[in-house]
Amino acid sequence: MTARITGIGTYVPDKIVTNDELAKIMETSDEWIVSRTGIHERRISITEGTRELALKAARNALAAAKTEPEELDIIILGTSSPDYHYPSDACYVQGELGAGNAAAFDISAACSGFIFAMNIVRGFFEAGIYKTGLIIGAETLSKVTNWSDRSTSVLFGDGAGAAVLKAGETGIIDMIMGSDGTMGDVLKCPSRTMGNFLTGEKPEAGFMTMDGQAVFKFAVKKIPETIELLLERNHLAKEDITYYVLHQANERIIEAAARRIREPMEKFPMTIGEYGNTSTASIPLLLSHMERQGMLKPGQKIIMSGFGAGMTWGAALVQWV
């Protein structure tokens, strides 16, 4: 028994922010951003939080999968920018959907969150515990972005993507998950500073910081490693893979990964240009784009691969059903 995706849904805020608009509030330019990242624009939420984006993506995924909320056994929401410490954004979604039979919780695996959520649900299916799950990647990173730090703020965007998973004989073939906590300082966002009646300090909200070059090097090494491991242990050749659906962090990272595994760029679809890096939402946003373009066909084998703060990484070899 494994898990297969039976419906994908997405939602992004209406507000498009172009590179030129960012150049009005910080020292940057469209030329710098496009040449270093491939990003042209991103969506920024004005009023909707992570849970609202997640809920809308979830509703779209359920409609696409023709699944009723009551059928769901489990809802897992991956996010690095939850609206609340508790209750979880997943519980909010569960309540709003009326998915009363589902256990719901958030996970924190940064940009690998969608892949991690998929693997957890697959595990429940393989163990025969659950049959229907909803996984969501949702972010309003704009609220944890330091808008006076041009080296991070131009990279990220807000959005959400969700997928309904059902237990079946075909679908996910194999998955990888990994973490390296010794690299935690490379990309981080503290929740709140310490502060209480003993210190006399008021806790302050934290903002994201990043060593961009260290992340770049990590990604360019890790993505090919996960792809090659999946191919090797499933006795597959690169020719067997139709698409590599990579976390959309930077066009140059994707190009470097493609060069390392000697695969053509046509096999690496991208949405980084229009959404920027939406962290946990980037893989489902890309899958949805591919679906709308008619690129996904039953029988195709695709590899999804993500990496992010932690550091974390994850990959999935999937036969599209």
- Enumerate binding residues for ligand COA (CB under 6 A): 28, 32-33, 36-37, 111, 150-151, 154-155, 187, 210, 212-213, 215-216, 249-250, 277, 308
Task: Name the residue number minimizing CB distance to ligand COA.
Answer: 212
Closest CB 140 distance from ligand COA, rounded Å = 16
> Which residue number, 71 or 139, has a Cβ lying nearer to ligand COA?
139
Q: Please state, in angstroms and rounded to a whole number, the distance separating the CA atoms of residues 122 and 172.
A: 8
Closest CB 87 distance from ligand COA, rounded Å = 26
Cβ-contact 174, 305 below 8 angstroms: no
> Which residue number, 138 or 249, has a Cβ lying nearer to ligand COA?
249
AA identity, residue 267: K
> Which residue number, 104 or 187, has a Cβ lying nearer to ligand COA?
187
Look up tokens 């029988």; give the residue: 299
Closest CB 301 distance from ligand COA, rounded Å = 25
Among 119, 247, 250, 289, which one carries the catalytic annotation?
A: 247
Note if 111 is an active site residue. yes
- Spatial neighbors of 44 by CB under 8 A, at least 6 apart, are 13, 15, 17, 142, 157, 158
Among 111, 189, 250, 289, which one carries the catalytic annotation?
A: 111
> Which residue number, 109 or 167, has a Cβ lying nearer to ligand COA?
109
Note if 277 is an active site residue. yes
Neighbours of 245 (CB within 10 A): 26
Look up tokens 């997640």; give the residue: 54
> Which runs of consecutive H residues, i.e. helices, occur in the chain?
19-23, 30-37, 50-65, 89-97, 113-126, 150-153, 212-233, 251-260, 272-275, 282-292
Closest CB 79 distance from ligand COA, rounded Å = 14
| Count of residues in the chain | 321
Give me the active site residues, please. Answer: 111, 247, 277
